[in-house]
Amino acid sequence: MSMGKNYFEILKERGFLKQCTDEEAVTGLLQAGPVSAYIGFDPTARSLHAGTLVPIMALVHLERAGHTPIAVVGGGTGLIGDPSGKTEQRQLLSREDLRLNFDAIRAQLGKFLDFAGGKSLAVDNAEWIEPLNYVAFLRDIGRHFSVNKMLSYEAYKQRMEKGLSFVEFNYQLLQAYDFLQLYQRHGCRLQMGGDDQWGNIVAGTDLIRRVEGGQAHGLTFPLLATATGEKMGKTAKGAVWLDADMMSPYDYFQYWLNVDDRDVSRFLGLFTVLPMEEVRSLSALQGAKVRAAKQALAFEATRLCHGEDAARKARDGALAAFSGEGCLDDMPTTTCDRGEFESGVRVNELFVRVGLVSSKGQAAKLFAGGGAFVGERRIKDHNEMVTLADFLEGEAMLKAGKKQRHRLILRG
């Protein structure tokens, strides 16, 4: 089979690479033919969020390069909880919760990767971790680990201050064991992950060498923060979820459109599959033109997560709401009975009903700040009424701040 550009080069030029066990060896491995490589995903929530998008995209590129991605959703390790980079002990999840999370996350990854067609694999490490026998594990696997060495890792040092339970201390052994299992079962030779996973990844390559005498490799991605120093994927309303029920494609699109200018270039490389020539030319845009780059970023990111149709709708809706182009039907819209506006409807109730604010109290704060509009009319008081006079040809635009808009349509 013919391979295009080396996957390693792709990672490098798109900004995915932080550390690698052996650049030359990995390049060679990838050059030689299709390779299985894996990344572990934490099943601690019902949905993945924008913070886990970097590893997901790394697998997307891997699949596109003709290799075989393996997504390990840690049903087994999830029972323990990775202490890396955490300052406090993780809450342990029940098996049932993990099961539900696992199914949801696998379905979500399935939007990015081709599990159905067999180009990518999704596996649950509970398969080999749950049956483990303690004594056998200690004897066969545990003997390869040096406590002295583990204690010297930066990942554990932090926790040495705060306290680290024995359960968590064992996490690294299990992740290394995952790698070993994947090496044996699927010939997996490469593990990738966030840079906080470095220690765990290297532990896996060591274990494979000791147990199998085999050579495996690891590489890590930089841990992303936005230009303002925030963790990726957080907004006022919470995480930027990849699940359409938890965050609509329209809002997802808006999230990417509103990123800081300084992040656009980097994000285009990481979160789209646009060719690098295009990424570079978009990144070169200056001033107000940066918005064109953001449009591309938002569209591509939304397309990958929610599909072409949803992305188009999100874009058209956003255009309609903010620039008068696009299609009004694709922006958030609520249809109301004409009758209720004859006598008038209280603004605060209206804003709550269409979901622009979460409660009347929130509405009151918005009004006090001067951030609410019905059409061109600024709302200052929660007792104001919205009547037929506020509608133009049966429609009215509600605004909450500069970035949230909602369309009302009269019926009857």
Q: For the CB of residue 66, give the shortest distance to RNA in the complex, in Å.
A: 36
Q: What is the CA radius of gyration of the chain?
A: 25
Question: Which member of 17, 58, 141, 164 binds RNA (CB under 7 A)?
Answer: 164
Q: For the CB of residue 198, give the shortest distance to RNA in the complex, in Å.
A: 23
Q: What is the DSSP string of 37-101?
A: EEEEE--SSSS-BGGGHHHHHHHHHHHHTT-EEEEEE-TTGGGT---TT-SSPPPPPPHHHHHHH
Question: Which member of 297, 366, 374, 386 binds RNA (CB under 7 A)?
Answer: 366
Which of 107, 368 has the CB closer to RNA? 368
Site for RNA in 261-290 (CB under 7 A): 261, 287-288, 290
Which of 131, 229 has the CB closer to RNA? 229
Percentages of the chain per state (helix, strand, coil), in multiples of 5:
50, 15, 35
- Interaction mask 176-215, RNA, x per CB under 7 A: ----------------------------------------
Q: For the CB of residue 274, give the shortest distance to RNA in the complex, in Å.
A: 18
Q: For the CB of residue 212, give the shortest distance to RNA in the complex, in Å.
A: 36
Does residue 325 belong to the site contacting RNA (CB under 7 A)? no
Pair of tokens at residue 85 = 């980079």
Does residue 169 belong to the site contacting RNA (CB under 7 A)? no
Does residue 403 belong to the site contacting RNA (CB under 7 A)? yes
**In residues, how long is the chain?**
412
- Distance between CA 215 and CA 300 in Å, rounded? 37
Q: For the CB of residue 186, give the shortest distance to RNA in the complex, in Å.
A: 38
20-28, 105-113, 117-125, 357-365 -> range binding RNA (CB under 7 A): 357-365
Q: Which residues of 70-82 are buried (b: 16+ CB within 10 A; e: fewer)?
A: bbbbbbbbbbbbb
Does residue 13 belong to the site contacting RNA (CB under 7 A)? no
1-9, 138-146, 162-170, 188-196 -> range binding RNA (CB under 7 A): 162-170
Amino acid at 273: V
Which whole-number Å values give the CA distances from 250 to 96, 127, 301, 315, 375, in the listed order?
A: 32, 38, 12, 8, 21
Cα 193 off chain centre by: 14
Q: For the CB of residue 179, give the shortest distance to RNA in the complex, in Å.
A: 28
Which whole-number Å values give the CA distances from 151 to 145, 148, 156, 171, 191, in the listed order?
A: 11, 5, 6, 13, 22
SS3 at position 357: coil
Which of 217, 382 has the CB closer to RNA? 382
Which of 32, 236 has the CB closer to RNA? 236
If you search the block for the tokens 């008081």, which residue do you land on?
381
- Interaction mask 219-238, RNA, x per CB under 7 A: --------xxxx----xx--
Binding stretches for RNA (CB under 7 A): 160-165, 227-230, 235-236, 254, 257-258, 260-261, 287-288, 290-291, 294, 318-319, 321-323, 348, 352, 358-366, 368-371, 382, 400-404
